[in-house]
């Protein structure tokens, strides 16, 4: 098992890259560069690079290259940014910056995210290159001016859901400046052209490996004739991208990062819950279990943060005569301690090999999903039935809550909220196909989860206030104020329950059965 590096993740090292590329036929000779440069002795290198992109190739379309390369003098993780006036900035991070070859370093994911947003990064191609390197030196001084790399390339484009893999081979020349000037590079280019060697058709090897796949992915618009599995996988990719893209921010406890990562994990679990019949049962169960583990760790920190803000706001809203004793000091200390314990749990989670395995599993789900063999059912023929099953689970949970009392009822209402979130996130996953009808249903179910969420927050606050009151009593402090705050939470529960029932009725009434006319 790979060990997880300790300490802060290494930052990327930047360098400028100015080069020209030329296409050569197999067996063709290099042109004579007499008078321009001295060609040094050859050095043969074997390079093996895995390229990463989103399943729909957003990086490629943004002219960004992300790869993990072994062999040669610069074995590392590389990000190449779009060229400016012929020069590209290339960022390097050591290979051991991540514990697994399928896990992109956090710092590079952040760089990519700043340009294309939160996208899932998965392996899309592998390029194996036999490179013959020669130094080009100044004929007068012997100063190294550039490096000439003669590459024999074998490229494998990995299959993705709905797309076939391919393998291609070609030969190309790269001339990369070191100490030389652009005029030197122009002179080399002219000599190559006189020899009938033309510039390469693709500015980067990965472009030639991928062919027209990025353009076809960009032009693809999901429709009701797509397999439901492809629609679901596209939704999963969106939320995997959030988890990957937010990782560095979560580690640094950046504002709202823990919350967004937790929501992404919940969305993934919900989509897998509703559409689990599309995948192998054991694989779905295992992935949902691991996502629950991660979401729970994030939840400890997030819930403590929310409760701290809400309870202190409630305290500040009380009349001064209702605040008796060092209530604020105790609440700030205890709630902050709980928050910091939650953050420590998140940090331990990110350093855990279990987390690494989860990230690798998510990547593999997007490249080689454990789909079961099903007929080519249209989205409209299966999605509605699966959503209806999820809505029935909500109604069953609500019926159970209506028949219970006290703490049992609060727990049952929390189940209603969780199952309502499952429906909401499943509706969101189908917006790409159904558009506004699915979006409208998602908003209806969001209203349900919001009002039930307020009720759950009040129930959790009650439990926290009881613990705070116990601690205050043990320290010989007055507990009156905690009782007052407890009473305000009871009032919230009584106030919100009718609104929760109404929101639920509205969401059920305007359910996915009404989408059929829009298909």
Q: Are residues 66 and 198 in the same domain?
A: yes
Calpha distance 457→306 (Å, rounded): 9
Banded pLDDT at 270 (limits 50, 70, 90): very high
Which residues are registered as beta bridge partners of 151? 131, 172
Which tokens is 408 given? 């049992």
Tell me if 519 is assigned to some domain.
no
- The H-assigned helical ranges of 26-105 are 58-61
Asked if 445 contacts 507 with a C-beta cutoff of 8 angstroms, the reply is yes
Q: Kindly state the average pLDDT of the residues 218-234.
A: 72
- Domains in the chain: how many in total? 2
Asked if 248 contacts 108 with a C-beta cutoff of 8 angstroms, the reply is no
Q: Kindly state the average pLDDT of the residues 314-326.
A: 93
Q: Kindly state the average pLDDT of the residues 143-160.
A: 92
- Relative orientation angle of helices 480-509 and 281-317, to the nearest 10 degrees: 130
Which tokens is 162 given? 């709905």
Calpha distance 366→34 (Å, rounded): 52
Asked if 132 contacts 47 with a C-beta cutoff of 8 angstroms, the reply is no
Interval 194-219: pLDDT, tens: 888 888 877 788 999 998 888 888 77
- Measured CA to CA in angstroms, residue 323 lies from 171, 326, 334, 464 at distances of 79, 8, 17, 17
- Which of 233, 245, 252 has the alpha carbon at shortest distance from 359? 245
Q: Are residues 249 and 197 in the same domain?
A: no
Lowest mean pLDDT across 55-59, 376-380, 391-395, 423-427: 376-380
Q: Are residues 172 and 253 in the same domain?
A: no
Q: Domain of 139: which CATH number?
A: 2.40.320.10
Q: At which of 188, 219, 250 does a domain end?
A: 219
Tell me if 8 is assigned to some domain.
no
Interval 233-253: pLDDT, tens: 999 999 999 999 999 999 999
**pLDDT over threshold 50, residue 1:** no
Q: Are residues 182 and 232 in the same domain?
A: no
- Measured CA to CA in angstroms, residue 130 lies from 72, 133, 171, 381 at distances of 10, 10, 10, 50
Which tokens is 509 given? 């009434």
Q: Are residues 166 and 242 in the same domain?
A: no
- Which of 301, 299, 264, 293 has the alpha carbon at shortest distance from 354? 293
Q: Domain of 274: which CATH number?
A: 1.40.20.10
What is the SS3 assignment for 79?
Answer: strand
Lowest mean pLDDT across 41-50, 196-205, 358-367: 196-205
Banded pLDDT at 223 (limits 50, 70, 90): low
Q: Kindly state the average pLDDT of the residues 273-299.
A: 95
Q: Kindly state the average pLDDT of the residues 246-264.
A: 93
Banded pLDDT at 375 (limits 50, 70, 90): low
- Which of 457, 455, 467, 435 has the alpha carbon at shortest distance from 499? 455
**pLDDT over threshold 90, residue 9:** no
Query: Can you give the pTM of this predicted structure?
Result: 0.86
Tell me if 516 is assigned to some domain.
no
Q: Which domain holds residue 406?
A: 228-511
Average of per-residue pLDDT values in the chain: 88
Q: Are residues 362 and 471 in the same domain?
A: yes
Calpha distance 240→362 (Å, rounded): 7
Q: Kindly state the average pLDDT of the residues 100-108.
A: 93
What per-residue confidence (pLDDT) applies to 30? 84
Interval 393-436: pLDDT, tens: 999 999 998 898 877 888 888 899 999 999 999 999 988 888 89
Calpha distance 208→328 (Å, rounded): 64
**pLDDT over threshold 80, residue 493:** no
Q: Are residues 142 and 239 in the same domain?
A: no
Q: Are residues 446 and 330 in the same domain?
A: yes
Q: Are residues 209 and 314 in the same domain?
A: no
What per-residue confidence (pLDDT) applies to 465? 93
Q: At which of 195, 219, 243 does a domain end?
A: 219
Q: Are residues 165 and 236 in the same domain?
A: no
**pLDDT over threshold 50, residue 282:** yes
Q: At which of 219, 242, 275 does a domain end?
A: 219
Q: Are residues 199 and 242 in the same domain?
A: no
SS (H, E, C) 417-478: HHHHHHHHHHHHHCHHHHCHHHHHHHHHHHHHHHHHHHHHHHHHHHHHHHHHHHHHHHCCCC
**pLDDT over threshold 50, residue 84:** yes
What per-residue confidence (pLDDT) applies to 441? 93
What per-residue confidence (pLDDT) applies to 349? 95
Q: Are residues 311 and 180 in the same domain?
A: no
């Amino acid at each position: 098992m790979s060990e997880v590096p300790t300490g802060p993740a290494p930052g990327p090292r930047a360098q400028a890259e100015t080069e020209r590329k030329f296409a050569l036929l197999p067996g063709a000779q290099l042109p004579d560069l007499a008078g321009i440069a001295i060609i040094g002795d050859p050095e043969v290198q074997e390079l093996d690079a895995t390229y990463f992109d989103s399943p729909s190739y957003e990086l490629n379309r943004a002219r960004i290259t992300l790869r993990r390369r072994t062999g040669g003098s610069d074995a590392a993780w590389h990000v190449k940014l779009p060229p400016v006036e012929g020069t590209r900035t290339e960022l390097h991070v050591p290979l051991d910056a991540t514990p697994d070859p399928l896990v992109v370093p956090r710092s590079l994911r952040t760089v990519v995210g700043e340009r294309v947003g939160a996208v899932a990064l998965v392996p899309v191609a592998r390029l194996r290159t036999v490179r013959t390197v020669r130094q080009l030196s100044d004929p007068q001084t012997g100063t190294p001016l550039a490096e000439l790399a003669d590459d024999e390339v074998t490229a494998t484009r990995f299959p993705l859901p709905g797309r076939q893999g391919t393998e291609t081979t070609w030969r190309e020349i790269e001339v990369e400046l070191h100490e030389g000037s652009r005029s030197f590079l122009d002179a080399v280019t002219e000599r190559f052209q006189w020899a009938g060697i033309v510039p390469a058709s693709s500015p980067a090897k990965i472009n030639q490996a991928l062919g027209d796949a990025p353009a076809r992915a960009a032009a693809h618009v999901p429709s009701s004739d797509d397999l439901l599995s492809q629609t679901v996988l596209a939704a999963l990719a969106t939320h995997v991208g959030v988890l990957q893209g937010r990782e560095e921010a979560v580690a640094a406890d950046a504002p709202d990062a823990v919350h967004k990562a937790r929501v992404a994990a919940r969305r993934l679990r919900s989509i897998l819950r509703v559409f689990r019949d599309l995948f192998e049962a054991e694989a779905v169960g295992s992935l949902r279990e691991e996502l629950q583990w991660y979401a729970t760790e994030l939840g400890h920190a997030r819930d403590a943060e929310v409760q701290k803000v809400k309870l202190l706001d409630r305290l500040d809203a009380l009349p001064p005569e209702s605040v008796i004793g060092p209530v604020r000091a105790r609440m700030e200390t205890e709630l902050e301690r709980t928050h910091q314990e939650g953050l420590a749990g998140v940090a331990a989670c990110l350093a855990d090999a279990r987390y690494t395995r989860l990230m690798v599993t998510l990547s593999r789900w997007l490249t080689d999903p454990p789909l079961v063999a099903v007929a080519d059912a249209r989205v409209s023929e299966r999605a509605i039935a699966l959503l209806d099953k999820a809505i029935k689970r909500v109604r069953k949970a609500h019926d159970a809550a209506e028949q219970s009392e006290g703490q049992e009822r609060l727990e049952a209402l929390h189940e209603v909220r969780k199952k309502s979130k499952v429906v909401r996130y499943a509706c969101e996953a189908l917006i790409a196909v159904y558009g506004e009808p699915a979006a409208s249903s998602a908003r209806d179910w969001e209203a349900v989860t919001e009002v039930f969420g307020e009720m759950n927050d009040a129930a959790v606050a009650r439990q926290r206030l009881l613990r705070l009151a116990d601690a205050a009593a043990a320290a010989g402090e007055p507990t009156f104020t905690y009782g007052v705050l407890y009473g305000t939470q009871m009032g919230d529960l009584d106030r919100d329950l009718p609104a929760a029932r109404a929101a639920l009725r509205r969401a059920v009434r305007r359910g996915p059965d009404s989408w059929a006319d829009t298909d």
